[in-house]
A and B are shown apart, each in its own frame.
Chain A
Amino acid sequence: MTDTLILAQATVGGIEQFWQMVVGGLALGTIYALLAMGFVIIFKATQVVNFAHGALVAVGAFLVALTAVEIDVPGRWIPSAPTWVTWALAAVLGVALGGAAGMVLERLFIRPMVGEPLFQIAILTVGLDIVLRTIVDDFAGLDGRPLADPWGTATATIGPVTVPHTQLVQLGVTVVAVVAVALFFRSRTGVAMRATAFDQEAARAQGITVGRIFGLSWLLGAVLAGVAGIFASIFPRAAGVSSATAFVAFGAFPAIILGGLDSIVGAIVGGIVIGLAESAASVYLTGFSNVLGSGFSAIIGYVIMLLVLLIRPYGLFGTEEVRRV
């Protein structure tokens, strides 16, 4: 009975459906990967488990809605430039402001807590999450604010699949972001950040200004969250930044754990895997909704996470002792 069902699915869907599923999964996966990467960078550098990361996603998207639509900066000063240029500039500005906000939050709320138990700091970030989300909600509400991206709902047909332009941009931007992060970690400051992550006291002994590194890790994390926030707020995922935007973090959480909390490569792989799994579940498991329930694709990530944790308690790429304080 089940066998015939799967067979039927496979023949109906066929290869086209499969590739469509893969593209959708990758697109979702890159959002998770961007988010997870930022989370892991903050965790590695500062040991802080940042429960406000979902809020940073919303704040980033909110600031882009602000710069690109609400106040139209820098578009209002260069009216003759093509829309995609002014929009891209506004997006960069919004994301940068989001990064600055992350740095300010670290300086105001996290830095004074250095030396306190990490659990307390984690709880503080929960509070931060609530406050930030409330602020964004007040602005955006349930209906959402559009980001007015230049790609709209346009799609391209590549072989057997139809891909929204936004998702092509998204894949490209994610690759650029991953390369940029990799390059950063080879730079002077990046090496200092890795040194700090490995042994904070020894880093201090080299004259590395650890507080600056902390702030920078929050800046990086918030920038990556903001980029993820843009793609979580435009076609085909949503019609704008709204009170639901921050919840993308719930989807990314299994990706972080799956990858292993302190591994950036793990964050990327985990993000893609969970994205693909969610996509596959939503395509192939809908036939089982009488058994699994209708929203199964939303929790498949958690199922995978739990299964992996049973076999590898530190995640796929995590180091064994999540370590010294």
Chain B
Amino acid sequence: MLSVENLEFVYNDVVLVLRGISLQVPTGKIVALLGANGAGKTTTVRAITGLAAVHEGDITKGSVQFEGADITGRDPSDVVRLGISQVMEGRRIFAELTVLENLRAGAYTNRAGMSASMDRVMALFPRLVEKRSATAGYLSGGEQQMLAIGRALMQNPKLLILDEPSLGLAPLLVKQIRDIVVEINQQGTSVLLIEQNANMALSIAHHGYIMETGKMVMDGDPAKLLKDEDVQEFYLGLHGDEGDRKSFRDVKHYKRRKRWLS
């Protein structure tokens, strides 16, 4: 469905942030994309959804294909109309608007299907029904994340991209968001789930990618990734005895050195 081929991305004509990444999201699946801070996950989303220009960024190589059509560098409104919606990093709800107005803003491209999408969103998030007339800025963090997801669903997307939806949420809410992502997927929407919470993402994904400083370093079956020692050490903190998180490469390097020393 979505196929990113060998993508290179540059900010301000100089900062090379994506160094030829490729990834696929098959129809109907959940694909997880993991990576540390600054790996380039959000940049990947911007490259796919046409928000590069806002950040003085450019795709310098490679392509983005969606359902067989080349959508590299297309306008964000075209991308949304073609069926790719996103839940932006940091929620980015319209805080001065009411919940209902946020959802209506989400449905801008989907005038005909608006009421059907509204029903779907309200069924997924009963909390938003209660709060529909509230000013969005006064919602709790969890409610805001639900609103951000609901707003994206108003576009009735074929593919939903979520950029760190669990960020800053309590464990119970993370679980709730995870269940909702599964439900959305079961309703027929493909999902690209970007996360630092590897446990959460890999527990529901059909395929996982791991990205490091603008490159894909690993990909495969989520269960295998979860069992991988390096992934465990770096993302789940299971083996690691050092408190501060180091780069994925550093972990490998450090282990190699340990082996060499012993």
Report A's interface with B, CB cutoff 8 A: 115, 188, 191-192, 194-195, 198-209
Chain A to chain B: the 4 pairs with minimum beta-carbon distance, closest first: A207-B80, A207-B109, A202-B92, A195-B105
CB proximity of B12 to chain A, nearest CB, Å: 12
Q: Which of B35-88 contact A (CB under 8 A)?
A: 49-51, 54, 56, 76-77, 79-81, 86, 88
Q: Are B88 and A198 in touch, CB under 8 angstroms?
A: no
Q: Chain B residue with minimal CB distance to A204?
A: B76
Q: Are B49 and A208 in touch, CB under 8 angstroms?
A: no
- B76 contact set on A, CB distance < 8 A: 204-205, 207
Range, interface on chain B: 20 to 34
* 16 cross-chain CB contacts under 8 A: A115-B56, A191-B97, A191-B101, A191-B104, A192-B105, A192-B108, A194-B101, A198-B94, A199-B92, A201-B51, A202-B93, A207-B81, A207-B109, A208-B77, A208-B105, A208-B109
Q: Are B86 and A195 in touch, CB under 8 angstroms?
A: no
> CA of A188 to CA of B151 in the docked complex: distance in angstroms?
14
Q: Are A203 and B105 in touch, CB under 8 angstroms?
A: yes
CB proximity of A7 to chain B, nearest CB, Å: 49
Q: Are A202 and B54 in touch, CB under 8 angstroms?
A: no
Classify the interface of chain B: helix, strand, loop or mixed: helix
Query: Does B95 sit at the interface, judged by CB under 8 A?
Result: yes
Query: Does B96 sit at the interface, judged by CB under 8 A?
Result: yes
Q: Are B81 and A198 in touch, CB under 8 angstroms?
A: no
> CA of A204 to CA of B81 in the docked complex: distance in angstroms?
12
Query: Does B117 sit at the interface, judged by CB under 8 A?
Result: no
Given the interface contacts A188-B104, A191-B101, does A205 sit within 8 Å of B88 by beta carbon? yes
- A200 contact set on B, CB distance < 8 A: 54
Given the interface contacts A188-B111, A191-B104, A194-B101, does A205 sit within 8 Å of B49 by beta carbon? yes
B54 CB contact (under 8 Å) in A198, A204, A207: A204
Q: Are A194 and B96 in touch, CB under 8 angstroms?
A: yes
Q: Are A202 and B77 in touch, CB under 8 angstroms?
A: no
Q: Which of B85-119 contact A (CB under 8 A)?
A: 86, 88, 92-97, 101-102, 104-106, 108-109, 111
Given contacts A204-B76, A205-B49, 19 further A-B contacts (CB under 8 A): A192-B108, A194-B96, A194-B97, A194-B105, A195-B97, A198-B95, A198-B97, A199-B94, A200-B54, A203-B105, A205-B92, A206-B105, A206-B106, A206-B108, A206-B151, A206-B152, A207-B77, A208-B77, A208-B108
> CA of A232 to CA of B101 in the docked complex: distance in angstroms?
36
> CA of A204 to CA of B45 in the docked complex: distance in angstroms?
13
> CA of A196 to CA of B44 in the docked complex: distance in angstroms?
23
CB proximity of A180 to chain B, nearest CB, Å: 19
> CA of A191 to CA of B95 in the docked complex: distance in angstroms?
13
> CA of A115 to CA of B97 in the docked complex: distance in angstroms?
25
Query: Does B155 sit at the interface, judged by CB under 8 A?
Result: yes
CB proximity of A267 to chain B, nearest CB, Å: 16
Q: Which of B104-142 contact A (CB under 8 A)?
A: 104-106, 108-109, 111
Q: Chain B residue with minimal CB distance to A187?
A: B104
Q: Are A198 and B96 in touch, CB under 8 angstroms?
A: yes
CB proximity of A207 to chain B, nearest CB, Å: 3
- B79 contact set on A, CB distance < 8 A: 207
> CA of A208 to CA of B78 in the docked complex: distance in angstroms?
10
Q: Are A206 and B101 in touch, CB under 8 angstroms?
A: no
> CA of A206 to CA of B114 in the docked complex: distance in angstroms?
13
Q: Are B97 and A206 in touch, CB under 8 angstroms?
A: no
Q: Are A205 and B86 in touch, CB under 8 angstroms?
A: yes
- A208 contact set on B, CB distance < 8 A: 77, 105, 108-109
- A206 contact set on B, CB distance < 8 A: 80, 105-106, 108-109, 151-152, 155
- B94 contact set on A, CB distance < 8 A: 194-195, 198-199, 202-203
- A115 contact set on B, CB distance < 8 A: 56
B51 CB contact (under 8 Å) in A191, A198, A199, A205: A205
- A203 contact set on B, CB distance < 8 A: 94, 105
- A205 contact set on B, CB distance < 8 A: 49, 51, 76, 80, 86, 88, 92
Q: Are B108 and A188 in touch, CB under 8 angstroms?
A: yes
- B49 contact set on A, CB distance < 8 A: 205
Q: Are B92 and A204 in touch, CB under 8 angstroms?
A: no
Given the interface contacts A201-B51, A201-B92, does A209 sit within 8 Å of B77 by beta carbon? yes
Q: Chain A residue with minimal CB distance to B79?
A: A207
- A192 contact set on B, CB distance < 8 A: 105, 108
> CA of A199 to CA of B95 in the docked complex: distance in angstroms?
9
CB proximity of A210 to chain B, nearest CB, Å: 8
> CA of A195 to CA of B80 in the docked complex: distance in angstroms?
16
Max count, chain B CB within 10 A of own CB: residue among A200, A204, A209? A204
> CA of A115 to CA of B50 in the docked complex: distance in angstroms?
16
Given the interface contacts A194-B96, A207-B80, does A201 sit within 8 Å of B54 by beta carbon? yes
- A199 contact set on B, CB distance < 8 A: 92, 94
Q: Are A191 and B92 in touch, CB under 8 angstroms?
A: no
- A191 contact set on B, CB distance < 8 A: 97, 101, 104-105
Q: Chain A residue with minimal CB distance to B93?
A: A202
Q: Chain A residue with minimal CB distance to B90?
A: A202
> CA of A194 to CA of B101 in the docked complex: distance in angstroms?
10
CB proximity of B30 to chain A, nearest CB, Å: 21
- B102 contact set on A, CB distance < 8 A: 195
Q: Chain B residue with minimal CB distance to A194?
A: B97
> CA of A74 to CA of B105 in the docked complex: distance in angstroms?
38
